Amino acid sequence: MKIDLTHYLPILTWGRAYNRSALTNDLVAALIVTIMLIPQSLAYALLAGLPAEAGLYASIVPIMLYAVFGTSRALAVGPVAVVSLMTAAALSNIVEQGTMGYAVAALSLAGLSGAILLAMGLFRLGFIANFLSHPVIAGFITASGIIIAASQLKHILGIDAHGHNLLELVISLATHLGEINWITAIIGVLATGFLFWVRKGLKPLLQNLGFSSGLTGVLVKTGPVAVVVLTTFAVWLFGLADKGVKIVGEVPQSLPPLTLPSFSPDLLGQLLLPAFLISIIGFVESISVAQTLAAKKRQRIDPDQELIGLGAANIGASLTGGFPVTGGFSRSVVNFDAGAETPAAGAFTAIGLAIAALALTPLIYFLPKATLAATIIVAVLSLVDFSILKRSWTYSKADFTAVFTTIILTLALGVEIGVSAGVGLSILLHLYKSSKPHIAEVGLVPHTEHFRNILRHDVLTHPNIVTLRIDESLYFANARYLEDKIHNRVAGDKAIRHVILQCSAINEIDLSALESLEAINERLHEMNVCLHLSEVKGPVMDRLQREHFLSELTGQVFLSQFEAVKELESK
């Protein structure tokens, strides 16, 4: 069997058509993204509870590996806020922050996550991510954004505070409010305010001054770099580190080191569930961003190959001093808007970050942690979206329940319990909805061959015939509901002689449902009523023909509902 390497190595596809124009666009995009990623990578490493340099390491090799295996032309892979928070939440329950064991556990978490993603991709299990509904994801990200912002207030205020959920964080912050370092607080508040202004107010100002839209976009995106430069210079100039302002300190001036995760069964067993949750959340966030950006250029994203690309990126992170990574929304949008045409832009970004790791790290010695905290707060608050509550309440009370429960549990009990509850609730709600499928009694629309709900339309019916349209596949959870529905309809009407099940919306009938159909057929026969089927789909009919049900059916199987009614009326 011949293996198509281009399927597993998308670089062979876009690499053949690479030209000078694409090179120029990719280099420009890489420059802009690199400038943005330097402070962001440092910040997310601190959020994950790791040294600042881990953020740079996690943004170099993973991007290069994704460029080889990924299918998105614009996705930028690296540390992101939600995954960094989940990393910290998972590891702090196992090992103490700041220890060598914590760093090794982070490598192991990235490696385990990479292995899960890679296995899912090779076995084409991308559909597993569908068990996380969009409302649940929105609720989880909103709650996580609030927790992340709250967790960074300790750096903004220069105090010690800890907690895995919002309640613990608020209590811890309140307890230490008397220890505020006012110089740190001033730096943190000014940096946060400036970054918010850059996002909202700088663009209109520059446009009014006559700057081009392209240059305006670049200047807005480099706002965090300006804050880093100004606050670092201020701390160095006025010796604020000696006055209690916490700084990043010495960052190794080197390329990512070669590292090995731990293969301890005990540690891997403890990390298995967090790694699975990080893999699913990271994949959902990444694929949604990739597909959104690809649609704008009519490009195609292969979800299973994306799993392989993200898996390779995480394994690369585990071997080069990093922690779990995925495709980030903000960096990918910047990459797309800056004109990136191929994944080579990501590889050039990695080269830029490698140069920064080698040459620029001494310059961030005096970078205050309050500035990095401000960068995180401004980034994650854009993810907070409470409008999903109003929208889901208006549209579907079940979806509102899922969103609200996910938000509350995440805030109250932490990210792992919150997302686990969200997944479980999504599945339970699906089972609940499908366990009571919509079953409509339908009649013939006059002068047509169409059948519609008798409660919604003025239709023709026959006193001896009942037609029920089942708007759901039949399986173990809803088979008994169908039995009860048919029995209740027929038992009270002695005139009924025929029941037709219109199966146009049924895509599958499992064994439990087949046994229910057999029971329905037998019970109706005892009432002197015939059971008929109409508009049965080919694959469903193929499966029914393997059993004896059709030979025992008291009625017939009709090609169309109109044919069924006309023939039975004639009898």
CA 406 to chain centre: 14
| Calpha distance 338→343 (Å, rounded) | 13
* Mean of pLDDT values over 262-269: 94
Distance, CA of 107 to CA of 271 (rounded, Å): 11
The first and second tokens of residue 553, run together, are 């059916």
**413 in the same domain as 354:** yes
Residue type, 531: L
Q: Does an H or E element contain 502, and which?
A: strand 498-502
Residues 392 and 456 in one domain: no
Residue 432 lies in a domain: no
Structure tokens at 241: 């580190």
Residue 528 domain boundaries: 439-570
Helix (H, G, I), strand (E, B) or coil at 71: coil
Are residue 422 and residue 446 in the same domain, yes or no?
Answer: no
Question: H/E element holding 478?
Answer: none
Q: At what angle do helices 81-92 and 20-47 cross, to 10 degrees?
A: 30
Contacts of 543 (CB under 8 A, 6+ apart): 508, 509
Whether 434 is covered by a domain: the verdict is: no
Within-domain flag for 433: no
* b/e burial code for range 503-540 (CB count within 10 A of at least 16 → b): beebeebeeebbebbbebbebbeeeebbbbbbbbeeeb
What is the per-residue burial (b if ≥16 Cβ within 10 Å, else e) of 242-272? eeebbbbeebeeebbeebebbeeeebbebbe
**Same domain flag for 373 and 472:** no
- Considering the domain architecture, whether residues 393 and 316 belong to the same structural domain is answered as yes
Residue 513 within a domain: yes
User: Mind giving me the DSSP string for 153-188?
Assistant: HHHHHT-----SSHHHHHHHHHHTGGG--HHHHHHH
Which of 403, 427, 451 corresponds to the end of one domain?
427
Regarding pTM above 0.85, the answer is no
Report if residue 480 sits inside a domain.
yes
Give 505-542 pLDDT, tens digit per residue.
999 999 999 999 999 999 999 999 999 999 999 999 99
Q: How far apart are CA 520 and CA 260, in angstroms?
A: 61
At residue 50, the pLDDT reads: 94
In this structure, are 75 and 210 located in the same domain?
A: yes
Q: Please, are residues 334 and 63 in contact by the beta-carbon 8 Å criterion? A: no
Whether 269 is in a domain gets the answer yes
Token pair 């109409």 is at which residue? 534
The set of residues, in sequence order, having a beta carbon less than 8 Å from that of 9 and lying 6+ positions away, is 68, 69
Domain end call among 390, 406, 427? 427
- The rounded distance, in Å, linking the Cα atoms of 442 and 467 is 6
Q: What confidence category does residue 4 fall into, taking pLDDT thresholds of 50, 70 and 90?
A: low
Over range 98-120, report the average pLDDT.
Answer: 94
Whole-Å CA distances, 142 to 81, 266, 277: 12, 33, 17
**pLDDT tens for residues 416-450?**
888 888 778 878 887 888 899 999 999 999 999 99
pLDDT at 37: 86
Q: Of the ranges 1-10, 96-105, 230-239, 514-523, which one carries the lowest mean pLDDT score?
A: 1-10
Residues 460, 548, single domain; the answer is: yes
Residue type at 496? I
Which pLDDT belongs to residue 462? 94
Which CATH number belongs to the domain containing residue 524 in this structure? 3.30.750.24
Domain end marker among 395, 427, 459: 427
Give the total number of structural domains in the chain: 2
Do 447 and 408 share a domain, yes or no? Answer: no
272 and 180 in one domain? yes
Q: Is the pLDDT of residue 214 over 80?
A: no
Q: Do 453 and 325 share a structural domain? A: no
Residue 305: both structure tokens together: 């190959």
pLDDT tens column, 31-66: 888 888 888 899 999 999 999 999 999 999 999 999
Give the span between the Cα atoms of 357 and 366, in whole angstroms.
16
> Domain check: are 197 and 286 in the same one?
yes
Band (pLDDT 50/70/90 cuts) for residue 489 is very high
Alpha helices in 329-396 (DSSP H): 329-337, 344-359, 369-381, 387-395
Distance of alpha carbon 365 from alpha carbon 367, whole angstroms? 6
In this prediction, residue 115 has a pLDDT band, given cuts at 50, 70 and 90, of: very high
Provide mean pLDDT across the span 217-238.
85
Same domain, 405 and 477: no
Q: Confirm whether 364 is domain-assigned.
A: yes
